[in-house]
């Protein structure tokens, strides 16, 4: 099979290794570009959410490159995520493409269906071999996430703007080249060492901002105009509420959403949003509350335009923001969103957060937040 999959953050680095280890050819999806979005926008329904359009564009690009199988994830809950893959498949088939689409639903919602699809993907590999291959890919995803967390810490403290991003790109290449468990382990250590060696001022005072929102636009920089980089270069240490490792562990497999201050994210959100409404709306509210309790300076919510769960979460944010005294800035992202507009709003937000910090420090209300890298 010639397999491809969505491009979401750094995950293609791990997934391409997994596909090759299973003995298939891989068509690595390109980083979403203007062309990707134009293709998706041309063939998707006008009011479809941004991830559907970008993914549709990506699938068109990988099918052009010869992919015959697309592996993607499904979705549960009352938003459109569960319909995504079916709709994309129908659109692509109407355009004349012949291919197989394998939609992996969260295993805890149907183990048998999940195993059936795994059996198809593993081909003639044994189950133990499949387990070994998945375990290795998981190590790589963890190494990628750890390196990105280090980048979030280093970037606002770098002495030369752009140096941490360049080092990060080299670290990613190292992780990409690692093939065995041992090589991945060594590459992770070396990548973290490289990030630590970026010339920086570790004592620089930085703002701490939490990032919440829908998973695709949070994890894929091409969909959010590299907002984390913009914030980092404005002297903000970002803390992302979703990483692929944490999300897979807490939602897709275990339903054990992270406990902080003795409550889970869902429990924290419950007084405002007692039910799961699909997507990540409930998580956006819960994480915002937990960030406030952790003493963060502010929260940025990333939402695809027309994303129902995030629209509902957004409607609750003014109340959450007042109750927990935390500024929240929401971006609704679509194909019309431009970098200049995002940058201008971020600059104003950062300015507000600094003034608020100074005021709170003057009133003796500000307590510095420990950064993960310093804990």
Q: Which is nearer to ligand SF4, 75 or 232 (CB)?
A: 75
What whole-number distance in Å separates Cα of residue 152 and Cα of residue 146? 10
54 counts as binding ligand SF4 under rule CB under 6 A: no
* Beta strands in 148-279, from DSSP E residues, in sequence order: 207-213, 236-240, 259-260, 263-264
- Cβ count near 100 (within 10 Å): 13
210 counts as binding ligand SF4 under rule CB under 6 A: no
Min dist. Cβ of residue 125 to ligand SF4 (A): 32
What whole-number distance in Å separates Cα of residue 10 and Cα of residue 19? 15
32 counts as binding ligand SF4 under rule CB under 6 A: no
Is the distance from CB of 314 to CB of 307 less than 8 angstroms? no
51 counts as binding ligand SF4 under rule CB under 6 A: yes
Min dist. Cβ of residue 128 to ligand SF4 (A): 35
Contacts of 318 (CB under 8 A, 6+ apart): none
Min dist. Cβ of residue 79 to ligand SF4 (A): 3
What whole-number distance in Å separates Cα of residue 280 and Cα of residue 214? 5
Q: Which two tokens stand for residue 136?
A: 């290795």
Min dist. Cβ of residue 304 to ligand SF4 (A): 4
Stretch binding ligand SF4 (CB under 6 A), from 74-82, 107-115, 120-128, 144-152: 74-82
Stretch binding ligand SF4 (CB under 6 A), from 17-25, 73-81, 155-163, 282-290: 73-81
| Residues between 300 and 339 with contacts to ligand SF4, criterion CB under 6 A | 304, 307-310
What whole-number distance in Å separates Cα of residue 239 and Cα of residue 249? 18
140 counts as binding ligand SF4 under rule CB under 6 A: no
According to DSSP, residue 233 is labeled H
Min dist. Cβ of residue 280 to ligand SF4 (A): 6
57 counts as binding ligand SF4 under rule CB under 6 A: no
Min dist. Cβ of residue 276 to ligand SF4 (A): 11
Please select the residue that binds ligand SF4; options are 40, 279, 286, 298, rule is CB under 6 A: 279
Q: Which is nearer to ligand SF4, 48 or 209 (CB)?
A: 48
Give the largest Cα separation in the chain, rounded: 67
Stretch binding ligand SF4 (CB under 6 A), from 4-12, 78-86, 104-112, 165-173: 78-86
Task: Kindly report the backbone phi and psi dihedral angles of residue 343, in degrees, each rounded to the nearest multiple of 5, phi listed first.
Answer: -60, -45
Contacts of 332 (CB under 8 A, 6+ apart): 303, 304, 305, 307, 310, 314
91 counts as binding ligand SF4 under rule CB under 6 A: no
| Adjacent-strand bridge partners of 190 | none
Is the distance from CB of 326 to CB of 296 less than 8 angstroms? yes
What whole-number distance in Å separates Cα of residue 328 and Cα of residue 317? 7
273 counts as binding ligand SF4 under rule CB under 6 A: no
Is the distance from CB of 260 to CB of 238 less than 8 angstroms? no
Please select the residue that binds ligand SF4; options are 79, 133, 187, 265, rule is CB under 6 A: 79
The residue count for binding ligand SF4 (CB under 6 A) is: 14
Q: Which residues bind ligand SF4 (CB under 6 A)?
A: 49, 51, 79-81, 84, 214, 278-279, 304, 307-310
């Amino acid at each position: 099979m010639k397999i491809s999959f969505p491009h979401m953050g750094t995950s293609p680095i791990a997934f391409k290794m997994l596909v090759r280890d299973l003995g298939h050819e891989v068509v690595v999806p390109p980083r979403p570009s203007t062309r990707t979005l134009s293709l998706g926008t041309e063939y998707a329904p006008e009011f479809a959410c941004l991830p559907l359009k970008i993914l549709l564009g990506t699938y068109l690009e990988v099918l052009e490159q010869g992919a015959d199988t697309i592996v993607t994830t499904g979705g549960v809950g009352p938003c459109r995520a569960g319909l995504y893959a079916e709709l994309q498949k129908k659109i692509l088939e109407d355009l004349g493409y012949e291919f197989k689409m394998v939609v992996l639903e969260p295993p805890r919602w149907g183990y048998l269906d999940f195993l059936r699809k795994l059996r198809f993907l593993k081909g003639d590999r044994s189950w133990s071999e499949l387990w070994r291959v998945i375990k290795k890919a998981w190590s790589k995803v963890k190494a990628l996430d750890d390196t990105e967390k280090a980048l979030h810490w280093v970037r606002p403290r770098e002495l030369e703007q752009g140096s941490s991003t360049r080092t990060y790109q080299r670290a990613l290449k190292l992780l990409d080249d690692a093939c065995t468990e041992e090589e991945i382990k060594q590459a992770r250590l070396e990548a973290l060492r490289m990030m630590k060696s970026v010339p920086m001022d570790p004592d620089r005072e930085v703002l701490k901002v939490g990032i919440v929102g829908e998973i695709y636009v949070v994890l894929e920089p091409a969909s959010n105009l590299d907002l984390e980089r913009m914030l980092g270069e404005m002297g903000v240490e970002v803390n992302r509420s979703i990483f692929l490792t944490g999300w897979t562990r807490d939602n897709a497999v275990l339903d054990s959403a992270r406990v902080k201050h003795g409550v889970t994210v869902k429990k924290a959100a419950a007084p405002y949003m007692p039910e799961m409404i699909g997507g990540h709306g409930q998580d956006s509210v819960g994480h915002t509350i937990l960030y406030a309790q952790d003493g963060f300076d502010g929260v940025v919510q990333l939402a695809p335009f027309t994303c129902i769960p995030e629209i509902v979460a957004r409607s609750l944010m003014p109340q959450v923001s007042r109750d927990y005294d935390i500024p929240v800035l929401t971006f609704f992202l679509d194909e019309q969103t431009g970098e200049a507009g995002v940058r201008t709003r971020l600059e104003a937000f950062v300015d507000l957060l600094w003034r608020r910090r100074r005021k709170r420090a003057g009133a003796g209300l500000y307590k510095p937040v420990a950064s993960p890298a310093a804990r």
